[in-house]
Structure 1
């Protein structure tokens, strides 16, 4: 793990059923500890102050785009060039993880959905979130969805050059739910996707996290 590596951190507080997600980065390390900057809550974009002894679930991506996961513990708060946390280095629990476990980020990407069975008219919408394993999108109210319904998905990514990149894959419905009684959200898992397209999505997610982290630091 090199200096500057972006970390995705999950921590479940006492009394909570679901973990809270944070991001951080590696500042320094030695034989025993990894030093990271203070984690930032992904939903609120606020710096988190976690208790000594807190147990983390951490994922990160290497330069060759391999994803690793390990459990760690917050050992101490330290003063370096910036305030930092000392966490325990990974041991045998350090392992590669499956593609479906990739970190999901909230972002709006233009998407077109086409049926495989002519059961509805193709439509365009935007994503609510995305990961290397799937997407959540805003669904039209007039379309009825069943479990495991498979569709053809086209995603339109804006490049830094100003050009558009279009990715095509198939996906199946995981669940459909209503938010605030008005917006219908559909969650989809990719069933057929090329390695190249999946890696592009993974890079996109990590780049977005880096951009958000830079904005947080500059505030």
Structure 2
């Protein structure tokens, strides 16, 4: 379902500045046009300050419906309109390109990301993920490590975004399944058992960008 007039949109702005890229803004939809949405001046969700947008600014947007499902889409600023207040025109999303993520279900994407794993005080290693998502990850490990289902580990994930910024997400994960590969290595599948909302959001943002990249090919 497309966003409606008076609905609140939440978004991040693509930026080479790491602090700005991580900031979240919100703006109400004031009107709907055939080729776009008119939104009010956005406000920084943390500070409450107004944010000025410029023509061409790229936005990663989401909105929440009554059923508790977040809807994500990619957009950009395509113009302005002077009204009682200045309104910003952004591209209307293509319904087929809107990503839906339920609160208890998270998108998962294939990804080769660097991850540091701490199994115990004397077993630490760095490897690459196989896939990542808002609910868990899988990674490839050397066969020499004794990893079994039910084990918990502390992890630090390196996350590069399309604007060039890099984030680190830390969490505690539990091993759900281990698959022995023909190469002698192991595929380790994990679920998150302790992760803050802000750390999880970093991973979800990466998954969102990756899915848009796949769809654009």
Name the TM-score class by shorter chain. 0.5 to 0.7
Match of 2:2 in 1: 2
Given the alignment, which residue of 98, 110, 135 partners 2:114?
A: 110
Task: Give the count of matched residue pairs.
Answer: 132
TM-score (normalised: structure 1): 0.53
CA distance in 1, matches of 2:205, 2:216: 16
2:169 and 2:202 in contact (8 A); partners too: no
Match of 2:134 in 1: 132
Cα gap change, 1:183 to 1:140, in 2 (>3 Å): closer
Query: Partner of 2:216: helix, strand, or coil?
Result: helix
2:169 and 2:203 in contact (8 A); partners too: no
Match of 1:189 in 2: 191
1:59-208 superposed matches below 5 A: 63-64=62-63, 67=69, 97-99=102-104, 101-115=105-119, 117-118=120-121, 120-180=122-182, 182-208=184-210
Cα offset, 1:206, TM superposition: 1.4
The CA RMSD measured in Å over matched residues stands at 3.0
Cα gap change, 1:68 to 1:146, in 2 (>3 Å): same
1:163-208 deviation per Cα after TM superposition (whole angstroms, max 9, x unaligned): 4211111001001002335331000111111101111211211110
Cα gap change, 1:108 to 1:174, in 2 (>3 Å): same
Cα offset, 1:161, TM superposition: 4.4
CA distance in 2, matches of 1:198, 1:112: 16
TM-score (normalised: structure 2): 0.53
1:64-97 deviation per Cα after TM superposition (whole angstroms, max 9, x unaligned): 476369xxxxxxxxxxxxxxxx9xxxxxxxx983
CA distance in 1, matches of 2:193, 2:163: 30
Gaps of 5+ in 2: 4-60, 72-95
Cα gap change, 1:163 to 1:125, in 2 (>3 Å): same
2:101 and 2:107 in contact (8 A); partners too: no
Gaps of 5+ in 1: 4-61, 70-85, 87-94
Cα gap change, 1:214 to 1:160, in 2 (>3 Å): closer
